[in-house]
Amino acid sequence: MTITKSEFPASFGDLSQLTVLNISNKGIKGSLPSDFENLGSLVELNLSGNEISGEIPSNISKLTNLKTLNLSKNKITSFPKEITELPLLTDLILNENSIEGNIIEEVKNFKNLRVLDLGSNNLNGTIPDAIVQIKDLVKLNLSNNKLEGEIPKAIGDLSSLKYLILNKNNLSGEIPSSIEKLIMTEIDVSDNTLLYGKVPDLSYTTVNHVCKYKNTELCFKKDSKDSKCEYENYECSNCVSNAQKDSNGICRCKENFTGIGYDSCSSISDLDDNGLNNEKDAANFRSSFQSLTIASIIIIATYLLYLM
């Protein structure tokens, strides 16, 4: 199929016997045509690297033979729940778009999905626990979004997962120990500054594996440090003041202290006192501001009377 203009032809929906459609990097603009549903024989659809905008039409669920959907590097704004109704879909590639909002709970309805790539969008909210119900998932890329909260604790239940790419978000909390059940090719959780805990001890599928933990508060165990990985300079057993090692040799803040045992521990009572002091400071500021305001009004009134 040849497209000579930067738009979809009016007869696009007539290609009902088409099984593979690849028109990537052709400068196509506009929205996806509503007659997509007529392409019922389509197995692979690649429209990456264009300027397609707007929403993916909900009737995409009619493409019941579709296995690969690649709309990466466009200006798509939606991730409709109807995509999860595609019974044979194995690869959903939507990275480098403008998709906003939360990751929908309906992702748990994917039956055969192996690749979910939503990297470099504008997603926010948390990573839903529903993600771990995509049992055949091999690659999960949610990098370079605005996701918050913790990584699902049961992420290690995704026994087929080989690529976990979550870098450049706002993820926080302790990295789940369940990750250690996985055999990985690539893990990247870098640039999540509030993520802490012990770097997982992993087995890998290849000696050329990728493991990135920079710009986090994750610590490493000296005896299991991997020369191929990128770490921050936190050693799990190097305790700071008011911290002690737990049964796994990882520094934890002592009772009545809070923080990260290999970074810093603060007294809970001091934090409470600081909170009270802050309240007093705020009250003093409000009182001073009110006094200043009254004085200013008096000065202005006096000046106006003088002019009269």
Q: What pLDDT, in 10s, does the model give residues 108-141?
A: 999 999 999 999 999 999 999 999 999 999 999 9
What's the pLDDT at 11? 66
Residues 216 and 244 in one domain: no
Look at residue 3 and tell me if it is in a domain.
no
CA distance 88 to 42: 11
What's the pLDDT at 8? 75
Beta-carbon count within 10 A of 280 CB? 10
Beta-carbon count within 10 A of 136 CB? 15
What's the pLDDT at 191? 98
Look at residue 223 and tell me if it is in a domain.
yes
Residue with tokens 């497209």: 3
Two structure tokens written together for 178: 């369940």
Please identify, among 196, 212, 238, the residue that sits at the C-terminal boundary of a domain: 238
Please identify, among 181, 215, 238, the residue that sits at the C-terminal boundary of a domain: 238
